[in-house]
Amino acid sequence: MKIMRVEKTLVSTNRIEAFGHRPLLVVQERTGGIRSVAVDAVGCIPGDWVICVGSSAAREAAGSRDFPSDLTIVGIIDRWNPEGGV
């Protein structure tokens, strides 16, 4: 799993049916880092530090075994210091 920060929500109206109405969020490993898009399975807000899962766990966490996600948010970290790590 990766530690990421939620930057903003992503609006995508015309999407494949398999995505349903699942919320999509733009996440970043660090400020100014590469941005990725994750499916939100917990309900987080921009600024939250979260843990993102990949692989088959990402598909299942997003709703079902055949959900087409390769990055899903599975938890919100209580407190996290991005510089020192801990």
Residues of the shown chain interacting with other proteins in the complex, contacts defined by CB under 8 A: 1-3, 41-42, 51, 53-58, 60-61, 74-79, 85-86
Instruction: Report the C-alpha gap between 17 and 80 in whole angstroms.
Output: 36
Pick the closer one to other proteins by CB: 14 or 59: 59
58, containing H or E segment: helix 55-61
Minimum separation from the CB atom of position 14 to other proteins (A): 27
User: How many C-alpha atoms does 11 have within 13 Å on its Cβ side?
Assistant: 1
Pick the closer one to other proteins by CB: 3 or 26: 3
